[in-house]
Amino acid sequence: MPPTFQPCPPWSLHAWPSLLWQVSRHGPLHLQHLGTQVTCPGDTSCRNVGQTIWAWRGDEGDVGMAWDWVQLHCGVVAMADPMAVVTNLRLVSDDGEVLTAYESARHINAIVHGLPWQRAVERALTAPGQPFALAA
């Protein structure tokens, strides 16, 4: 069986340099889809699950975000755990204090909510025989 190409596993984001980002800063992060992995192709005993990874290269540095997803039923996917987004992004308050993971969660989830990630996952699910669908 040939090896599967996985350009950037989601856990590797922990090795990326941290990037500080002020919460009130105007202008969105322009994250692009890097790839989606289906780790458990669904069958009668298991739902489709996997990870998706998004990134952006800005003047300040690279930002990456990844999270697990689960297919609830045909055409409906959701984040498996909204509190478990892997990222090198460190959010900073207007006072210059780095936010805790708990304080950052709603901002991180707002970023994820603004991405067309469900479409990317659905494309990966309809790509037969490809455990890792790369962005076009």
Q: What string of DSSP letters covers 36-93?
A: EEEEE--BTTB--EEEEEEEEEETTEEEEEEEEEEEEETTEEEES-TT--EESEEEE-
Q: What is the predicted pLDDT for the residue at 81?
A: 95
Q: What is the pLDDT of residues 93-134, one digit of tens each?
A: 999 999 999 999 999 999 999 999 999 999 998 876 555 555
The long-range contacts involving 104-109, CB below 8 angstroms and separated by at least 24 positions, are: 107/23, 108/65, 109/79, 109/82, 109/85
Tokens found for residue 35: 């790839």
Q: State the pLDDT confidence band at 71, using cuts at 50, 70 and 90.
A: very high
Flag whether pLDDT at 11 surpasses 50: yes
- Considering only residues 28 and 114, tell me which one the structure prediction assigns the higher pLDDT: 114
In order of their start, the domains of the chain are: 20-131 (3.10.450.610)
Give Cα 109 to chain centroid, integer Å.
Answer: 10
The Cα 89–Cα 71 span in angstroms is 26
pLDDT score for 26: 60
State the DSSP code for 6.
-
The residue among 41 and 6 whose pLDDT is bigger is 41
Residues 62-73 have a mean pLDDT of 93
